[in-house]
A = this chain, B = another copy of it.
Amino acid sequence: MLLDPQFRTAETDALWSPAARLRRMLAFEGALALAQAELGLLDPGAAQAVAGLCADLQATELQAGDALDADALFAEAATAGNPAIPFVRALTRAAAARSPAAADAVHLGATSQDVLDTATMLALADALDLVRAELSAAADAAARLAARHADTPIAGRTLLQQATPVTFGYKAAVWAAALDRAAEGAARAGDQAAVQLGGAVGTLPAFGARGADLRAALARRLGLADPGLCWHVLRDRVFAAGTALALACGAAAKVARDVQLLMQAEVAEAAEGQAEGKGGSSAMPHKRNPVDTLVPVAAAQAASGLLAALAPSLAAEHERPAGAWHAEWLVLPQLSTLAHAAARAVRRALDGLEVDPAAMARNLDAHRGLLAAEALASALSPALGRARAKELVERLARRARDEGAHLRALAEAEDEIRAALPPAALDRVFSHADAVEAAAAEARRILAARPAQARHQDRS
């Protein structure tokens, strides 16, 4: 068990199972034969036979007893060097049982890397789509929180210190933006998922002048992008998928970490929803531990390192590298699994998030008016000049902190301030009205600017 269950999902387990991998390899071989026939490069009957065989095999369990046994094939790969070699051998054998022409038509002109890279791209396209959907759903959940709490004041916090007020809706709108942007990144990377076809060294000599056409036809059949050339050693597409998945983990972790910080007993402004058996502690009956938010935080930490494990594959030597390609096999299933689990966990955390506006207000007020210091200085600037206003407020703020007095009381005791600001203006300053209005407006603006698809899903 290389990843504990909370860092996996049923979907990604299914996506990367040996049988699923083999099914994608069969999809490649079937589509390749049909594309060749379409361009007149292969006898249509033979192509149909291969494609039919592949379709038939895809419908089996691909386990011991079936014509192809996924576990056995991948085990053979350890000796052969890669799983495509035993796979092509077994598929050719199965084709020979149908007809010699079918056997001759299997994997024609292709190389191991063609089928393995294409199968990986099919998987990555699916993985990126799963991640995108989960991120969008999480963004929708954040957007719902943002809409509901657009006007709920909360302390803005910079460098882990209270700064000036925002609203919880603004905070949640930023979460939605983080998740939406990561979802767009996943979608963009998914659009780049391309077919691989180059033959032994990338040049497709078996097809004369038709190589590029065949690649395009194969891409169409598999629903992948046509890369326009063989990318055996041009790994930027794989790298782009990896960075999109790491971005997904990072965006989920941003939200999750914020929630963990808000859950702290001393802050207690929001909390993961409760459920039977969730987040308890056998020893400490009062504890309410974060559970869902642990996943993105840990996944993002791992994903950062996995990027460093993936990037060296960009420097793939000659026409196929001896190790850099294989390292991708180690990274991609895991990175996509972590990204999906992280996105799902953060969606769960947001869907069930318990929000406590009273606690937010209480914490905002706990500082004896100090969070209004900036607003007070701004309000005084027209009358006193900015420098004098700032100097005055800084002095009062220091006294408020040192003497434990409320900044408003100190302000009201100053003649210079009383002369400059009527009580209503002071009310406004200490109600944080400008800050709250600005944050609320910004939250609504961010929500209105969400990508169309995301908004649509939100309505559905």
Contacts and interface: CB of A to CB of B under 8 A. Distances in A.
Interface stretch (A26-34, A48-56, A58-66, A259-267): A259-267
A152 interface: no
A293 interface: yes
Contact of A302 (B79, B182, B263, B331): B331
A96 interface: yes
Contacts of A76: 277
A233 B305 contact: no
Contacts of A5: 74-75, 77-78
A327 B311 contact: no
Interface stretch (A133-141, A196-204, A216-224, A416-424): A196-204
Nearest to A307: B307
Given A1-B333, A212-B445, A229-B446, A161 B104 contact: no
Nearest to A208: B438
Interface stretch (A13-21, A124-132, A349-357, A452-460): A13-21
A330 B3 contact: yes
Interface size class of A (residues with CB under 8 A): 35 or more
Contacts of A280: 80, 85
Interface string A420-447: 0000000000000011011101100110
A88 B331 CA distance: 34
Given A280-B85, A333-B1, A203 B286 contact: no
Given A18-B1, A76-B277, A298-B327, A234 B174 contact: yes
A371 to B, nearest CB: 7
A308 to B, nearest CB: 4
A35 interface: no
Contacts of A442: 202-204, 211, 229-230
A122 interface: no
